């Protein structure tokens, strides 16, 4: 929210947005084409239902965000909508994720590139992560793991 702007949704206190409003904004941000992880959301065809484009409807359907929980899609390939969302713990969310799989050729390609480049954190790691559709943390795990069948 721009500095000095007054929220119209009534879900802020002393200029700070509520946790529920922040969760809703984060969900909406994932749908933007310029979002860094767009390929995992809008790039896979995932959308926010029309009803939830208004915060008031999201709040009416989901209720207040409970402490320690985050918004989760039950079916990871499904849309953000009432029938497919719930408030979940991080442990529950970690059990509901897509498994990253790389072919042995891709894993070998990444290993060869990282052995040439040295330490993590440079642009090559980002390029490899983008090329194979994984996070930089996956590149680091692969760099450290000796197995040919890395998943």
Residue spans of the domains in the chain: they are 12-95, 104-144
Which is more confident, 33 or 106? 33
Q: How confident is the model at residue 1 (pLDDT cuts 50, 70, 90)?
A: very low
pLDDT given for residue 92 in this prediction = 83
pTM over 0.85: no
d(CA 97, CA 134): 13
Residue 78 CA neighbour count, 13 Å, CB half? 12
pLDDT given for residue 131 in this prediction = 76
Residue 39 CA neighbour count, 13 Å, CB half? 8
Q: Which of 55-64, 84-93, 112-121 has the highest mean pLDDT?
A: 55-64
CB neighbour class for 61 (10 Å; exposed up to 12, middle 13-18, buried from 19): middle
Tens-digit pLDDT profile for residues 2-58: 454 444 555 555 568 999 999 999 999 999 988 888 888 888 899 999 999 999 999
Please count the other Cβ atoms lying within 10 Å of the Cβ belonging to residue 115. 9
Percent of the chain with pLDDT over 70: 70
């Amino acid at each position: 929210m721009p500095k000095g702007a007054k929220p119209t949704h009534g879900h802020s206190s002393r200029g700070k947005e509520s946790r529920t409003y922040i969760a809703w904004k984060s969900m909406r941000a994932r749908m933007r084409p310029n979002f860094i992880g767009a390929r995992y959301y809008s790039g896979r065809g995932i959308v926010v239902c029309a009803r939830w484009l208004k915060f008031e409807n999201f709040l009416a359907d989901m209720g207040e965000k409970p402490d320690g929980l985050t918004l989760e899609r039950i079916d990871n390939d499904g849309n953000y909508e009432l029938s497919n969302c719930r408030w979940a713990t991080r442990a529950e969310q970690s059990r509901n994720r897509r498994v990253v799989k790389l072919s042995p050729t891709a894993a070998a390609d990444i290993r060869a590139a990282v052995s040439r480049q040295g330490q993590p954190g440079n642009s090559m790691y980002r390029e490899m992560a983008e090329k194979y559709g994984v996070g930089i943390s996956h590149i680091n795990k692969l760099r450290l793991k000796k197995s040919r069948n890395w998943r």
